[in-house]
Structure 1
Amino acid sequence: MIKKILVSQPKPTSDKSPYYTIADDFGVEFVFRPFIKVEGLSSKEFRQQKISITSFTAVVFTSRHAIDNFFKIAKEMRFEIPDTMKYFCVTETISLYIQKYVQYRKRKVFFGNSGKIDDLVPLMVKHKNEKYLIPLSDVHDDSVKKMLDAKGLTHSECVMYRTVCDRLTEEEIKNFDYDMCVFFSPSGVAAYKEAFPNGGKDSMKVATLGPSTAKAAHDAGLDVAVEAPTEKYPSMTSALRRFLIDQEED
């Protein structure tokens, strides 16, 4: 039976998180402990990419990390962002986060609904004369570049932050007694394998978000019991709920 679940993400900021509802409904305990952390590049490291922020008229944000590090580097390089700069975000939530740094104006901020950059492309095409900058993590592929190239958009991708392991302490490794571990990225799986090169607890089940995370977990020899998203269960919490219902019925 699954009773204690480690979620490799920060603790939810809201008491209304679906994780807490699941905990109450099924009598399980969730512990939140990220296996990875994000570090911003220094302005010196960024300059090595030979990217000039002043050359762009629009920025595409895929995460809050991208927003934080874009404005951090702009400040370090003493680049005053013009009022004419436009922002394209993969969700409305991310777009609202821009208010932390600049005055929010709807005519300058555009957002998609799916959380994927694919959903933004039609909006970007409507503004085809813009020069787009896309801040990314050090872990990315060429899919965004190919997508925007196909639409004939002027754009450049750049690395502004990196993902690194947030290593488990010796005490955490010694007391690791979870029935399930939830992973959200291949980097998280890699961090777990670094802590437990022999696989860790044999009976531990694994839940994964996204096909690349699932592949990493399978390749690592972990017991993958939950894979999200699916058409029926689009979120990790909905997939976990289904798994726990099935567990009770068995």
Structure 2
Amino acid sequence: MSLPELSWQFAYARLGWALVLAALVAGVLELLLARTQPQRWRLPRKPLAAIAFLSLAWMALPGEASPAWHLGLAFQSPSALLACLCAASLLARWHGVARSRPLLPLRLAAALAAAGTLLYLDAFGLLAHGYYHAGFGAGAALLAVLLAAACAACIVRGRARAQAGALLGAILLFSGARLPTGNLWDALLDPLLWAWALSTLGLAGLRVVQRRGVGGHQPIEPQLPAMQAGGTEPFSSLKESS
């Protein structure tokens, strides 16, 4: 088990949280811009560069003046995959690429949600199979190689390049510098990314339920009694006979 240098961990935590903050602020501003000015959905480059610079400068402040210090107490450092996904979103906005697909597709969200559930149940002692500690072993290195090969194949074939590139970048950070903690699971998952995956699956399930409810609900027309010939009301012959 090899751990990254402590100075690298500090530098990575500040850079990672800066990417997360910049992507979050840019996403919120872009959403507000799209609602107020639909014809100008794209965030201009100068504000985007200013957001990235200010986020990096704020996170780089020393000691408790940096938000990264407080975030580290609660979440340690963001996973390499989360940082790379945020970097991919910023890069797409910089080039003005309109994403027709979500940055976190359902398949990736399902895989992250399932892996996170197993890891957190194991960490809480409800499973106690040592899944987290396996991220330090040789099996984790083999899994990283297989994932890197799969990501390279997706990039060459042009399938989900942004997600494959982010995952490949996370694996390279883990393989080359052992960031963020030397554990493969910390490079691929963190509580924020797990919550993102769960919310993505929850919203997708809610949309499916709403579509089924709208499609399956058909107004029931009142069934009026059939009229007899001659325009008389039903059972009128019984009334007359009585």
TM-score (norm 2): 0.22
Rg comparison, structure with higher value = 2
TM-score (norm 1): 0.21
**Between structures 1 and 2, the one with greater helix share:** 2
**Between structures 1 and 2, the one with greater strand share:** 1
